[in-house]
Amino acid sequence: MNLRRLETFYWAVKLGSFKSAAEKINSTQSTVSMRIQELERELGVVLFDRAKGAARPTDLGRELLPYVEKVLRSTAEMRDRISATGSISGLVRIGVAEVVSMTWLPLFVSEMRHRFPKVQIEIEEALTRELETRLDAGSLDVVLAPGGDRNSRHVTRPLGSVEFAWMASPSLCNPGHPLAPADLVELPVITLSEESFHAVTIAEWFGSVGSPDYVGICKSMGVAGSLAMMGLGITLLPVQCFTDALAEGKLIRVQTTPAFPIIPFRALASRTNVSRLPETVANIAAELSTFTDAPDMPPHSGAA
C-alpha cells in the first residue's frame, strides 16, 4: 500500500480539507484529490463524501483513520531509529517570533543544516497568535515563540526567558530614578500591535493608571527600537537584542518600578504530526537557545 496515499488521506482528514492537506504535504490540491481517488480504488470503498463541494470523511473513512495513523507512526519511528540522521529528508515549516530571529536563529538553522542536510527548512516570522493558529491548522510544524503553553495538543520544550525593559533616547527621557506606570503614562509610548503576545502584558503593567499616549503601534520590535532611537517615544524592547544601542548611547534603559516581568519562550510541536522530526526540531531549539532567566525579575505567568 502506497505510503504517500496514506499520508495524504491522513492530513486531509486531520486538517479538514484537500486544500489544507496540499499545503501540509507541499503539493497541489489536484495531486491530493488524485491520491485519495487511487486509495479509494485500491480499497474499493468511498472514503470522502464530496457532496456540496465539501470533502468530509465517510464512516469508513473515519474507521480507517486510526489504522493509517498507526502505519504512518510506525514507519516514522522505524526511519528515526534505523536511518542515519543525515539521510532523513522532508520539509519542516518553522514559525518564529521576532526575538528569536534577532538572536539565535542563524545558529539554529546552521545546526539543522548540519544534522539534517536533506531536510528542507522553511522559516516564517510572525506574531505569536498567528503562529499558534497556523500550528493548529497544520501549516506550521514547529513554533518558537513566547508563552507558557501547557496544552496537551502540543509537545512543549522550554527555551528560557527573555528580559524586557522600557527604553528611550536619552534626548527624550533620562530621569535618573525609577519610574512608575503613572510616570510613563505622561510620556509618548511606542507600543506593539494588540495581536502581539506582549500587548496584554503591557496593558497589565500599566494597570489602573490608564492607557498611555500611544504615538505609534508596531508589529516589529526592530521598527519600535528605531523610532525610539529617533526620540519619538519610549518603548518596550528585549534587552538582549539592543545591547549595542545601549552601549553606544542611542538608547537608555529606563528603570521602572515594578520592573517589567521576564517573558518565557517555548518551542511547540503539534502532537498530530506522525513524524517525530518536528519534536526533534523542538529539542534542538531548546538545546541551542541563548535565552536564560533574568535575575531578580518577577516571572510572567499570563498568556496573550
pLDDT averaged per 10 residues in sequence order, the chain, 304 residues: 87 86 85 91 90 80 90 79 68 94 96 91 92 88 85 85 94 86 89 83 83 81 94 94 95 91 92 84 94 50 36
Give the pLDDT of residue 282. Answer: 95
Domains in the chain with CATH codes? 3-82 (1.10.10.10), 85-162+263-288 (3.40.190.10), 164-254 (3.40.190.10)
CB 14 within 8 A of CB 278: no
Give the pLDDT of residue 203. Answer: 85
Give the pLDDT of residue 297. Answer: 37
Task: Please give the grid coordinates belonging to residue 191.
Answer: 507600543
Give the pLDDT of residue 87. Answer: 62
3-class secondary structure, 123: strand
Task: Please give the grid coordinates belonging to residue 82.
Answer: 534505523
Q: Which of these, 157, 137, 142, lies nearest to 93 by C-alpha position?
A: 142
CA dist list (Å): 259 to 95, 187, 246, 256: 29, 17, 18, 5
Give the pLDDT of residue 83. Answer: 64
Dihedral sign computed on CA atoms, order 128, 132, 135, 139? negative
CB 222 within 8 A of CB 163: no
CA dist list (Å): 300 to 74, 88, 147, 287: 39, 38, 9, 22
* pTM of the predicted protein model: 0.77
CB 11 within 8 A of CB 25: yes
CA dist list (Å): 122 to 7, 66, 112, 125, 158: 20, 29, 12, 10, 22
Q: Could you please report the per-residue DSSP string of 131-154?
A: HHHHHHHTS-SEEEEES----TTE
**For residues 158 and 34, what is the distance between their CA atoms, to the nearest angstrom?**
41
**For residues 284 and 109, what is the distance between their CA atoms, to the nearest angstrom?**
10
Residue ranges in the chain assigned as alpha helix (H): 3-15, 18-24, 29-43, 59-82, 98-101, 105-115, 128-137, 181-184, 197-206, 221-229, 243-247, 277-288
